[in-house]
Amino acid sequence: MPKVRPRLLLIALLTVAWGLVPGAAVQRSPASPVVIPFELGTRHIFLKATVNGSRPLSFIFDTGANQALLRLDVARELNLRLEGEVRSGGAGPGTQVGSQVRKATWSLVGLAGFEQPVSFALPLAELPSAIGRDVDGIIGTEFIRQFVVEVDYLARTLTLHDPKTFRYSGTGETLPMDFTPDNHPVLTATVTPVGGQPIERRFLLDLGSGAALILHSPFVAEQQLLTKGHTTVRSIGAAGAGGRSVGQIGRVEALQIGSFALKNLLTTFSEDRGGALANPALAGNIGAQIANRFRVFLDYGRRQITLEPAATFGDPYDRAFSGIALRASGPGYHTFHVREILEHSPATDAGVREGDVIAAIDGTPASALTLTAIYEMFDKPGTYTLAIERDGRMLTTVLRPRRMV
């Protein structure tokens, strides 16, 4: 029975990674750069694609993914040929079961003449509600390796360059990049714990992660990072292919990538006992909240990455905490359920409970909100009046997100 080793998206934090199966089709790169616009949803890059000439679908662009894959219910909707059983592990101790996909190809909207195989279909059941929008599939290494991919978060574009002719001539810094046995990109970087000494290790470059830095549980234990009395809060709302993922959110003093020093980073210290975030071969994952401070050039053929500081490079890594983890459902994903509450947080101060439904914020009805907009709102200190539906009753309360670490 075939088996892949994915790392399924941790809700609002992580991404998806999959084992690469040899024999994928190789596509010719365009002679001139092609600019593809993208959307951001909870810090994830979304591209428009089709499968076998289907309606437009929303795919996550993820450096932690290998071959193209679909959500299982989307594959069934498109009447694709499904064969065999694929078991996937990820964050948490369990697995989920999907299928191989036969005789299906995906095409990127805006890139004429390009197509690649769709290899797998997996349930990915929580992804849409966790991100608050349709998530139809995921693409990664097999796509990226055909080009030099320029990721511009501020412009919200991917520019696809011909790797045979591309030469970088900007003000950024080019660094070597290695790959795991599963073809996931790895950078060498130096992390300095609060009050500690610099530690040079290998980190997965994970643009599919909405976090800044996630340290794997073996590294956290080895360095005793959760036993030194630093302020942390419990990570809430995180779940993966293997079930719930656990950890603490705190800070590190610095992360050094090449000549770039990133100070006072918000960091997730994983406490998982199994799965992707318990991988002892890597110290952690470098995610989108770091990558989005740069214009990023991914050159897999030359095994290198170029980082060019963006206008936001010097912005502090700061955020407030609401203490609320949400899931979105219903038409347009405008029904916002409280999935989990952080103890001793603004949420408990406001009397918000698990199972509550947010009906409005500051008078704006849920029908006019998105999950991304709500999280961006709650990431900033402020005062928000919430209309909440609970057990058939409407309640009003005031939420005051604040910095907690």
| More confident: 119 or 13 | 119
Q: Is 71 helix (H, G, I), strand (E, B) or coil?
A: strand
**What local confidence, expressed as pLDDT, does residue 92 receive?**
55
**What local confidence, expressed as pLDDT, does residue 245 receive?**
82
Beta carbons of 305 and 290 less than 8 angstroms apart = no
Q: What is the pLDDT of residues 256-269, one digit of tens each?
A: 999 999 999 999 99
CA 40 vs. chain centroid, Å, equals: 11
pTM of the model: 0.91
pLDDT at 54 over 80: yes
Characterize 295-334 residue by residue with b for buried, 16 or more Cβ atoms within 10 angstroms of its Cβ, and e for exposed.
bbbbbbeeeebbbbebeeeeeebebbbbbbbbbbeeeebb
Beta-bridge partners for 113: none
**What local confidence, expressed as pLDDT, does residue 308 receive?**
98
The rounded distance, in Å, linking the Cα atoms of 15 and 262 is 22
